Amino acid sequence: MSRLNLAFYRDDTLQVARALLGKRLVRVIDGRRQSGVIVESEAYIGEADRASHAAHGRTRRNEVMYGPPGRAYVYFIYGMYWCLNVVTEEAGFPAAVLVRALEPLEGVDLMRARRAGRPDHELTTGPGKLCAALGIDRRLNGVDLTSSEELFLEDDVPVDPNRIAASPRIGLNDKVGSAAVVPWRVYLAGNRFVSAQKARRG
DNA sequence: TATACGATCACCT
DNA sequence: GGTGATCGTATAC
């Protein structure tokens, strides 16, 4: 299994969002691997994207998005959840892909322990859930995914492009205008680990 | 210094 | 269908 390299992340963000589907997200804690296949992601592209954290320019919070590609951008939301992004494109241009859902593969026992009381099919079916399951928090913000020993991505089995579906991104405020409707969420159609709260398009 | 709110989730009816 | 939890961040005073 080979690790994704810098060139993978430096690419066009929408391309990376699609290419991440089927890749393996690996978290290593105390030498134990916990991993899952990415089945859902969302692209956030530049300051012109009004739904992006970079929509109002560079701040201490979003500065990792402005840095080199291949870094983890981990942010805190709603007072209790963490979300994981991978930074894309050239340094200086703020763009990233939010990892929204995983199909668990390795270390499921550890994920169950961190998500006590949740059934297996709800361990990683959302951006907050997967960070809880894999023990991802602010300590990993800015980590270089091309060299880190605790968080990285690997190649896995190729995905049939025909299985990739797209939809508007989830959870955006109406105030972001047209950014709320562009189909920058992508996912593996039919996969049971795609996040699916309520009825949802796509 | 104060305040409003969010790239969510779980639990309620 | 609706909403409370809970706090870092941005922005307004």
Compute the distance between CA of residue A83 and CA of residue A80 in angstroms, rounded to an integer: 10
At residue A201, the pLDDT reads 45
Cβ A9 vs Cβ A145: under 8 Å: yes
Measure, in angstroms, how far nucleotide C12 C1' is from residue A185 CA: 33
Would you say residue A202 has pLDDT above 70? no
Question: pLDDT-based confidence at A1, cuts 50/70/90?
Answer: confident
In a domain, A141, yes or no: yes
Higher pLDDT, A173 or A135: A135
Compute the distance between CA of residue A126 and CA of residue A51 in angstroms, rounded to an integer: 18
Question: pLDDT-based confidence at A157, cuts 50/70/90?
Answer: confident
In a domain, A65, yes or no: yes
- Position A133, amino acid: A
Residue A77, CB, strand B, below 7 Å? yes
Nucleotide nearest to A197 (CA to C1'): B9
Range of the domain at A134: 6-201
Would you say residue A77 has pLDDT above 50? yes
Compute the distance between CA of residue A54 and CA of residue A104 in angstroms, rounded to an integer: 30
Query: Nearest 5 degrees, angle CA A150-CA A155-CA A158?
Result: 150
Measure, in angstroms, how far nucleotide B5 C1' is from residue A132 CA: 22
Residue among A151, A185, A161, A145 at smallest CA distance from A42: A185
In a domain, A1, yes or no: no
In a domain, A165, yes or no: yes
In a domain, A33, yes or no: yes
How many folded domains does chain A comprise? 1
In a domain, A39, yes or no: yes
CATH number of the domain encompassing residue A131: 3.10.300.10
Confidence (pTM):
0.96
Question: pLDDT-based confidence at A180, cuts 50/70/90?
Answer: very high
Residue A146, CB, strand B, below 7 Å? no
Residue with nearest Cα to nucleotide B6 C1': A78
At residue A196, the pLDDT reads 75
